[in-house]
Structure 1
Amino acid sequence: MLQEEYIVSAPGKAILHGEHAVVHGKVALAVSLNLRTYLHLQPNSAGKVTINLPNIYTFLSWDVSSLQALIPDGTGDLKSTSEPDPEFIQKLRDFAGLADQSTDTRNLAVLAFLYVYLSVFSSSRALPSVTMSVWSELPTGAGLGSSAAYSVCLSAALLSARGAVTCPSFGTGHTARWEEEELELINKWAFQGEKIIHGNPSGVDNAVGTWGGVLRYHAGKIKPLRSVPVLRILLTNTKIPRSTKVLVAGVRDKIDKFPAIMKPVLESIDAISCTCERNLIKMASEATPEHYTVLEELIDINQHHLNVIGVGHPSLDALCQATLAHGLHSKLTGAGGGGCAITLLRPDTDCSVVQKSVEELQDCGYDCWETSIGAPGVLLHSPSSLKDGVLQILNSY
């Protein structure tokens, strides 16, 4: 039986620069959002495994004895992960009554939990009775890394419960971070969860959820940037649905049709990412108004480039025009074609300016959050550290 309770959280993610160009070998900068997913894992004395996911209206419970028969053969080495076994996945689908090849968010969240839970405890041959409750500030399906934040929380909590990573000390604070080697193990198992949900993910989203801050992604290699500033932003969801697959294919078609035009645009987007990276590193020691001006100019240039390669949308044009009327600079983040955008806020941006911008965007039917980028990655929380509202939600299920 589980002896301790664990409260963990992980951030969402946005792309600061380099979306679409990264598919063609260019540099992208992924950043953590200070909108977080929270997970509470606690002992269950009823011999049950219970999961409560109120954001997606999912509440399920199984007897531990029924799950025992599903335990896969484990090597005992949690550091050595392999591709998820399709037969095992199908076994889990059949057990939970999940439709084959379902892309439903609820089904995939349940499947990811069962896979990571059973895999992590496979070598012990003894499954703990637990209740897991998850609540998120992140909207699902918006390209903001909600599934990765869930997978990172799942991995951190279950590995901690298994004793595969140590429980870090809170010291004088109310949150704690794992050591680098343990973060690598958490990220590895979070990536397994992402594979269950997305099939063939890049690994960027779960890496952002694990390490936080700003990550440089290039040619499949992920490098966290050290000592970068936390930046205020306005995050806006236009709520316009889009298909990432279709948008990526459209960009590829344009490159094939107009290589002499499109390839220099991709090179320019790459240069934007690299220039922004250097600027952020300089800002870590001293952030001046001039540094913020550079960030704003890069945002404007990149947004124009993204329109050129065909991933803009009238909703995003309206958003950029509305914020620019108040002296604020915006760009799409992610796949484009609708979806979400980020607006940079300087440290001295007046609250009234932000409020007027939010009101205008909400009048367009958009959702807005004032938040920040560069937030810490996965955290272990003491119960007293969470806002009363979050803890109340987690404890009410």
Structure 2
Amino acid sequence: MIKTSTPGKLYLAGEYAVVENGNPAIIAAVNRFVTVTIDENTDRCSITSKQYENHLVHWERINSRMVVDDRDNPFQYIIAAIQVTEDYVQALGKPTQKYHLSVNSDLDSGTGKKYGLGSSAAVTVATIKALCQLYHLNISKVQLFKLAAIAHFSVQGNGSLGDVASSVFGGLITYCSFDRQWLSEFLHKITLPELLKLEWPRLEITPLQIPPVLRFLVGWTGSPASTSQLIDKVELKKGKHGIHYERFLHDSNKCVREITNGFRQNNIRLIMQNIKKNRELLQSLSQMAGVPIETPQLTRLIEIAEQFGGVAKTSGAGGGDCGIVLIKSDCDIAGLKAAWRDAGIEPLDLSIYNY
């Protein structure tokens, strides 16, 4: 039996801008996980998940290809991960196998509440990691990211793939999105092994460390949001506000670079100033595009954090889900969390996860 786990993620800064080629974001892997288990040598190929207890997907092989009935199927990311990895396996001249794959996740609550921790990216990465063990593939983290990015993008069709990078590398990273149009073109020009060896244009993944005096806190508003739908709405509006959108990208890029420098230099003031600045940039984008990034409950989460001496902002696409806080460890963190609870905001027991 093979078992792999990968963490979920939360964005600290750079949201929306990071979907444009070469723009950076800062992302934290968190200590909630997707676990994928593979049982080999089974007669029938299947996929199950504890999160979909009544759903079992059977698949077969026809001429070495995975064939699945895709109707009413909640496992698109898992299937895409299997297909991309096995395309790579066959390109290497290895035979494919039959197996049962099962998934379990604690990225959401036990009652099914969705926190926005990037479950689709985490399950994609965990599936590919497990299959790499099954097929004895010795690949680097960068190559693992590339396989998972191909699989995830084939399903979602938008986004930066930063959540995939976070699940692969863990910890705190600065991530710059690569040119997805270039990827789409080269997928049809060269083999997967060749594609994984190439430098991907504008891709950048750099590890960071959070200063010891800072605490990373997360509050959940109780309202889930759809990242892909929010990104689509901004995409539709950016052409009408070209100058303003380009200014947003420029300012976000500068802001994220300053936060990155703050982490490298242990400069708390620089980090906190620019987290606040990034919140203001997202508020301006929200007004420009007519997209509700910072909901009233997220605003309340942020205001409470500021009252206790922290800086806070939405995490990810916003529209609900989580807000993140950076606060000095000698502040009244217990009081902040109690005030959140009084406001109907759930403090999540999350920390930055390093492999």
Alignment TM-score, normalising by the size of structure 2: 0.75
Give 1:153 deviation, angstroms. 0.8
Give 1:98 deviation, angstroms. 1.9
SS at match of 1:67: strand
**1:11 equivalenced with 2:7 (yes/no):** yes
SS at match of 1:241: coil
Alignment check: 8 A CA contact 1:26 1:266 kept: no
Of residues 144-153 and 113-122 in structure 1, the stretch that sits farther from structure 2 once superposed is 113-122
SS at match of 2:152: helix
TM-superposition CA deviations, 1:230-251 (whole Å, max 9, x none): 7632223331535313541365
- Aligned residues: percent identity? 19
Give 1:26 deviation, angstroms. 6.7
**CA distance in structure 2 between the aligned counterparts of 1:219 and 1:112, rounded to whole angstroms:** 20
Which position in structure 1 is the counterpart of 2:175? 216
Give 1:127 deviation, angstroms. 1.2
1:307 partner letter = Q
Count of matched residue positions in the alignment of Structure 1 and Structure 2: 316
Which position in structure 2 is the counterpart of 1:151? 124
Match of 1:71 among 64, 72, 90: 64
**1:368 equivalenced with 2:347 (yes/no):** yes
After superposition, the Cα gap between the structure-2 partners of 1:233 and 1:158, relative to the gap in structure 1 and judged at 3 Å, is same
Alignment check: 8 A CA contact 1:32 1:208 kept: yes
Which position in structure 2 is the counterpart of 1:27? 23
2:206 partner letter = L
Which runs of 5 or more structure 2 residues have no equivalent in the other structure?
Answer: 180-201, 287-292
After superposition, the Cα gap between the structure-2 partners of 1:33 and 1:345, relative to the gap in structure 1 and judged at 3 Å, is farther
1:315 partner letter = Q
Which position in structure 1 is the counterpart of 2:299? 317
Alignment check: 8 A CA contact 1:12 1:144 kept: yes
After superposition, the Cα gap between the structure-2 partners of 1:120 and 1:43, relative to the gap in structure 1 and judged at 3 Å, is farther
**CA distance in structure 2 between the aligned counterparts of 1:129 and 1:300, rounded to whole angstroms:** 49
Match of 1:187 among 117, 137, 145: 145
2:279 partner letter = Q
Alignment check: 8 A CA contact 1:11 1:35 kept: yes
Give 1:342 deviation, angstroms. 0.9
Larger Rg: 1
Give 1:19 deviation, angstroms. 1.7
Which position in structure 2 is the counterpart of 1:332? 314
Alignment check: 8 A CA contact 1:11 1:32 kept: no
Give 1:201 deviation, angstroms. 4.6
The Cα RMSD (Å) is 3.2
After superposition, the Cα gap between the structure-2 partners of 1:209 and 1:110, relative to the gap in structure 1 and judged at 3 Å, is closer
Alignment check: 8 A CA contact 2:77 2:152 kept: no
Which position in structure 2 is the counterpart of 1:81? none
Alignment check: 8 A CA contact 1:142 1:237 kept: yes
Which position in structure 2 is the counterpart of 1:296? 272
Give 1:281 deviation, angstroms. 0.9
TM-superposition CA deviations, 1:84-136 (whole Å, max 9, x none): xxxx8xxx3xx32425xxxx7x1424533552465355444341433433323
Give 1:144 deviation, angstroms. 3.0
Alignment check: 8 A CA contact 1:333 1:340 kept: yes
Give 1:142 deviation, angstroms. 5.4
**CA distance in structure 1 between the aligned counterparts of 2:41 and 2:100, rounded to whole angstroms:** 8
Higher relative contact order (CA 8 A, sep 6+): 1
Which position in structure 1 is the counterpart of 2:47? 51
SS at match of 2:252: helix
**CA distance in structure 2 between the aligned counterparts of 1:70 and 1:341, rounded to whole angstroms:** 48
Match of 2:209 among 228, 240, 243: 228
TM-superposition CA deviations, 1:8-32 (whole Å, max 9, x none): 2222222222222334567322313
Match of 2:165 among 197, 207, 219: 207
Alignment check: 8 A CA contact 2:21 2:176 kept: no
